[in-house]
Amino acid sequence: MQFGTLADFVLVEDGLYKGDLRRGGGGIPHGSGTLIYFTDDSKGRYNYSGDWRDGSRHGLGATAFRNGDLYRGRYSDGLENGRGKIFYSNGDTFEGAFYISIATKLMRHPVLKI
């Protein structure tokens, strides 16, 4: 993955961001972009690439973690929320539904056809 030069990024609250910004919003990520988190990120995240809404991860995206894990899927208001898949650094994977960043087993409902 190639990120460009430092001049391509803007400083935001959690790290360095490259991508679309909200018009007239003072540098708030909004649209599509990549955030490289500061090394002291409390959740151990390395970077996020994907959709943004008003400064939060929202829509489809992927987060790489410093331990080698990777999450790809849906986000809502900054949290993993909806369908997603985690690729663990040890080779294991989990695919299912996430609710406020908590993995849950996706249950199939015979009537709703989920």
> What does the alpha-carbon distance between residue 93 and residue 16 come to, in Å, rounded to a whole number?
29
Q: Which helix (H) or strand (E) holds 88?
A: none
6-104 has which fold?
Answer: 2.20.110
Would you say the pTM of this structure is higher than 0.85? no
Using the predicted structure, report yes or no on whether residue 106 has a pLDDT greater than 70: no
Provide the total of helices (H) and of strands (E) in the chain, helices listed first.
0, 9
Residue type, position 106, single letter: L
> What does the alpha-carbon distance between residue 62 and residue 34 come to, in Å, rounded to a whole number?
10
Question: Is residue 5 classed as helix, strand or coil in its secondary structure?
Answer: coil
Domain boundaries, the chain: 6-104
How many CB atoms neighbour CB 11 within 10 A? Answer: 10
| pLDDT tens-digit map of 55-77 | 999 999 999 999 999 999 999 99
Residues whose CB falls within 8 Å of the CB of residue 72, separated by 6 or more in sequence, listed in order: 61, 62, 84, 85, 87
| pLDDT tens-digit map of 15-65 | 999 999 988 767 799 999 999 999 999 999 999 999 999 999 999 999 999
> What does the alpha-carbon distance between residue 25 and residue 107 come to, in Å, rounded to a whole number?
40
